[in-house]
Structure 1
Amino acid sequence: MGPKATSVFIDQIIESTAADRDQDHIDMVILNHASLPDRTHVILENSGELFLKEIEKDIRLLEYAEVANIAMPCNTAHYYIQDMQAMTSIPIIDMVEESMKAIRETFGSGCKIGILATNGTLRSGIYSESARRLGMVPHEPDQDVQQQVMNIIYRDIKRGIPSNPAELEGIIHDMVTKEGCDCAIIACTELSIIKLSEETKQVSIDAMDVLVRKSIELSQ
């Protein structure tokens, strides 16, 4: 979901797997269903049935391929993860829950988390609810900052235009220094494409990285 984000996910799986030869790598079935309805739109327009109808076809293909786990490199789509899981006995890795657990382990219970995501993900509340359930404090950007985030995702990355890392890094820096956040969660796989500085990585966790690690752990 998101062709570029999918390709980054595949590359990270390969690069993060300890392997000396082809046979040491993980077998993968890549289903790049680019024509799926936009996840933010279906959440905001309350038309999730259109998305789920298409997703069920994909799940049947993965069942036929006898995959052991399903990884979904799209944060917004996790709003429907329970509906999808009800369609199959194959475990779907919960990127949201795994990411929140990783933040709690790194920054501690009670930490304040800045959420960088699409409007759909924010509206769904999946990260805020998970944070509160695990004893942490979610923080969503104000309207102007959120528009900046959406511009990076839709104006730049989804159109194949390189995004200047300084813009996203500036948002994260302000969350930490001005908004009192202990860290930021990069909760959109398009944002995962942007190469951040080591300094910024110290105060952020990328949900894509968490999904990569969990996918490798389960598949090995």
Structure 2
Amino acid sequence: MEHKRRLGVLGGMGPKATSVFIDQIIESTVADRDQDHIDMVILNHASLPDRTHVILENCPEQFLRAIEKDIRLLEYAEVANIAIPCNTAHYYVNEMQQMTKIPIINMVEETMKVIHEAYGDDCKVGILATNGTLHSGIYSESARKYNMVPHLPSDPVQQQIMNIIYRDIKRGVQIDPKELESIIQHLIEDDGCQCIIIACTELSIIPLSGEAKQHCVDAMDVLVKKSIELSLN
């Protein structure tokens, strides 16, 4: 029954974010020896179509055709759950779940549960994400479902966020955390947000200060914890 605990990781969106997710799984697992860690099958499909482009251009079949083959591979590997360390891809989580009986961990839903438990109803939640994720409305809809108020950055701030993700992180450019921290501070102090969601796994790579972190819930952290919980259950 060992394989029942195996975690499937459908990654590559992007590759660096996937490697950080794997590292966090390992670092967050209480273990005294190799055998205490969870088994993972990691599929780093970096050539998948860009999720933001697919959503904005309304061409889901490009992404879903490719992802279905990956899901079949994970089925063959007999994984018990599938984790997808990419927020934008969760726009298609229902379509992906229909392809398989293996549970796909819904990072968006799990993140909003954590925020609601901590902040309660009427919490104003700032969303730091790609244009694709914002356009999809997955976090805004989930926030409203939990009686919270979603808040999107202004257009200039959103362009700044996109530059950090696509101009810098995806190209391997060294990031100054202060740029993202200033955005978080602006959303808290000027826009009146009580909590900020780090809703892009590329942004999860940036090492934030303790002061900035206290205002944030990182969706990747939530996915890491849920993946370990399910794998060690």
User: Aligned to 1:117, which of 120, 123, 129?
Assistant: 129
Return the alpha-carbon distance in structure 2 between the equivalents of residues 105 and 166 of structure 1.
29
Structure 2 distance, partners of 1:23, 1:57, is: 30
Please point out which of 98, 102, 108 is paired with 1:96. Answer: 108
Q: What is the TM-score normalised by the length of structure 1?
A: 0.99
Q: CA deviation at 1:163?
A: 1.0
Shift of 1:70: 0.1
Matched AA of 1:13:
I
Q: Which residues of 2 match residues 59-208 of structure 1 at below 5 A?
A: 59-208=71-220
Tell me the residue number matched to 1:31: 43
**Which digits, 9 at most, give the CA deviation of each residue in 1:146-165, with x for residues without a partner?**
00000000000000011110
CA RMSD between the two structures = 0.4
Q: Which amino acid aligns with 1:95?
A: M
Identify the structure with the greater strand proportion.
2
Tell me, in whole angstroms, the C-alpha distance in 2 between the residues paired with 1:71 and 1:98: 12
Note the alpha carbon deviations across 1:56-106, whole angstroms, 9 max, x for none. Answer: 000000000000000000000000000000000000000000001111111
Counterpart secondary structure, 2:40: coil
**Are residues 1:58 and 2:70 paired?**
yes
| Amino-acid identity (%) | 76
Aligned counterpart for 1:3 among listed residues 1, 12, 15: 15
Amino acid paired to 1:200: A
Tell me the residue number matched to 1:20.
Answer: 32
Q: Residue 6 of structure 2 aligns with which residue?
A: none
Per the TM alignment, residue 200 of structure 1 is displaced from its structure 2 partner at its CA by 0.7
Q: Which runs of 5+ in 1 are unaligned?
A: none
1: CA distance between counterparts of 2:184 and 2:120? 19
The amino acid of 2:28's aligned partner reads: S
- Report how many aligned residue pairs link the two structures: 220
